Amino acid sequence: MEVANETVIKKPKRLTSVVWNHFERVRKADLCYAVCVHCNKKLSGSSNSGTTHLRNHLMRCLKRFNYDVSQLLSAKKRKKENTLTIANISYDEGQRKEEYLKPTIVKYEPEQRKDEVFNVQSSWFDQDRSRLDLARMIILHGYPLAMVEHVGFKVFVKNLQPLFDVVPNSTVELSCMEIYGKERQKVHDMLSKLKGRINLAVEMWSSPENTNHVCMMAHYIGDDWKLQKKILNFVTLDSSHTDDLLSGVIIKCLMDWDIGSKLFAVTLDDCSTNDDIVLRIKEQILENKSRLSNGQLLDVRSAAHVLNSIVQDAMEALRVVLQKIRGTVRYVKSSQSIQGKFKEMVLQTGINSQKNLVLDCPIRWNSTYLMLETAIEYRNAFCQLPDLDLDLALSDEEWEWASSITGCLKLFVEIINVFSSNKCPTANIYFPEICHVHIQLIDWCKSPDNFLSSLAAKMKAKFNKYWSKCSLSLAVAAILDPRFKMKLVEYYYSQIYGSTALERIKEVSDGLKELFSTYSICSTLMDQGSALPLGSLPSSSNDGRDRLKGFDKFLHETSQSQTAISDLEKYLDEPVFPRNCNFNILNWWRVHTPRYPILSMMARDVLGTPMSTVSQESAFHAGGRVLDSCRCPLTPETRQALICTQDWLRIQSDDPGPSSSHYALPLYVETN
């Protein structure tokens, strides 16, 4: 190629930089320069000039990105206020990749023409940063690691940025582990600085390969009085795991994160879990002398799980009836002609319902409730259907059973919806709902319907086990709601316990006072996170023969105890706060912390206790949480890294503030 008496230099060997795929090196006299093959622009091509300026040119070459020159000319003629520009971006090679780059604020004009040009004077492509951004994208959105091997992904990336070298699956996995290590350290540092205590929720998962996993999540209320939760570990259990192994896994999690001294409560998802698990955890905490009280609030079971378990008893009792109703609905929906006959029966029997028949998904029991509710409304039409298989026909007694169970399921659906849909599920919301279930179970046990009463007795036996473990925790959380205080406990306990209600109320009151007394004595230790063990006091004298050391301890304990009682009595004696739908209990305690300094510390820990571990998407799932199939083939270490880091990055992505974990340069657009 010749350009005005300029000779193209024929290199005997290939130029090493990929930049030269877009340039021809030419020489004119003693000068050597590079000509862009897209726009024919000449730049310095000396071997001493490097390739940085060539890379920068490629990033803004209009011809390379198929822009017409007329677009540039028209853009230059536009008024200054209608131009969208981005300030120069510089990159220092010595700058740490973790460092957050301050975003540039740009103005956005709604009527701006689409063909206006972004004028980027300089930028820098960084392979390592892009590699970590790719890994972070895979983690955040749960994409499979193997996506980097897909042909479509490789083509897309090469067309978007030819300078990026697509890395193999194994390299992406290492990058994910690198991000996990950095993010884990951030979470560890944050938890170590936390003033309040931490609640640990333990939830069992399964997988399509029938492998069991345990997910451990920290719940706490931060110093800003916002409810937070973070997954700490996702451990794959051995196929022959026992309760001993499970307790060991939980204790190891506490030790690895160094949060044993901060532990307030452990919430398990299954009421049938062996109590020895919690006892072993308590023993471990006792060895570290970090237990807050006598442990009555440490053992919590998931409220939603016990309700799900009770519902399964109802489903089993109605199994034959459900099979008949399911078969009948499937028969009606099998053809247009049968649906036409069914509509005729609906009109003839005078049914005014506008609901459509629903065929349930057996593993999601809320859909079974909807199927039952609709089928009961069309009961008379079902009975009049011609050609219906006699095996599918329900007797009057079976229809009554279905009606009774539907009423029970309606209550449980409403309550679990309250638990799972609440965006800030503090512990105070559970007590009234659980008490209502308790009252209904008592009433159902007294029902003259033998089917309902016998079923209710089985349900109540399972519920009583949960109630015996969690009633005090539930009640204390309700008392810390200024709209209820002790009045709500008195209201429900009088209905539940009748003549023995006063004794039960006193048990709650005594437990509350004991907890406050403990918080009062160790308030300094908890608030400052200092090193004084519980029960030890600083001495003002080095004299080993000081005979008044006992008096110092007596004075400290009695004065602290009086302060705690005064704080508690002041709160309980004041009128309850008016009930309204916009009440924010955490904001109330944040505002009233100066008024109740010790009480607010306890409120922060109690209200942060997870009384339920069921997520919204699995609230009505009969089989529990199931691991995604794309995570199953991974090693346990990689699986844990991806699941934990995804949780941490999602929390950061919800935060509008800048985060040091995002390496990419953000662009904030300001609308006039």
Per-residue pLDDT reduced to its tens digit, 601-642:
999 999 999 998 877 777 787 777 788 877 888 899 999 999
b/e per residue 232-256 (b: at least 16 CB within 10 A): bbbbbbeeeeeeeebbebbbebbee
Domain segments of the chain as ranges = 18-66, 176-297+629-652, 303-421, 426-525+583-612
Q: How far is CA 150 from the centre of its chain?
A: 30
- Nearest residue to 440 (alpha-carbon basis) of 454, 460, 458: 460
Instruction: List Cβ neighbours of 637 (8 Å cut-off, separation of 6 or more).
Output: 177
pTM: 0.73
Q: What is the mean pLDDT of residues 475-485?
A: 95
Type and span of the H or E element at 614: none
Give the three-state DSSP class for 29.
Answer: coil
Q: Give yes or no for a contact between 367 and 404, defined as CB atoms under 8 angstroms apart.
A: no
| Separation CA 223–CA 650 (nearest Å) | 20
Q: Give yes or no for a contact between 84 and 116, defined as CB atoms under 8 angstroms apart.
A: yes
Q: Tens digits of per-residue pLDDT, 68-79?
A: 434 433 444 443
Q: What is the mean pLDDT of residues 542-565?
A: 58
Q: Give yes or no for a contact between 370 and 357, defined as CB atoms under 8 angstroms apart.
A: no
pLDDT of 134 > 90? The answer is yes
| Separation CA 170–CA 598 (nearest Å) | 52
| Separation CA 174–CA 112 (nearest Å) | 44
b/e per residue 272-289 (b: at least 16 CB within 10 A): ebeeebbebbbebbeeee
Beta-carbon count within 10 A of 111 CB:
5
Q: Please report where in the chains the tokens 């079902």 appear, as a residue.
A: 382
Give the three-state DSSP class for 605.
Answer: helix
Mean pLDDT for all residues in the chain: 79
Q: What is the mean pLDDT of residues 650-665?
A: 47
Q: What is the mean pLDDT of residues 542-563?
A: 59
Q: What is the pLDDT of residue 525?
A: 47
Q: What is the pLDDT of residue 96?
A: 41
Q: Give yes or no for a contact between 477 and 431, defined as CB atoms under 8 angstroms apart.
A: yes
The percent helix, strand, coil of the chain (3-state, each to 5) is: 55, 10, 35
Type and span of the H or E element at 105: strand 104-108
DSSP notation for 304-368: HHHHHHHHHHHHHHTHHHHHHHHHHHHHHTT-HHHHHHHHHHHHHTT----PPP----TTBHHHH
Instruction: List Cβ neighbours of 439 (8 Å cut-off, separation of 6 or more).
Output: 492, 495, 496
Q: Give yes or no for a contact between 492 and 474, defined as CB atoms under 8 angstroms apart.
A: no
pLDDT of 324 > 50? The answer is yes
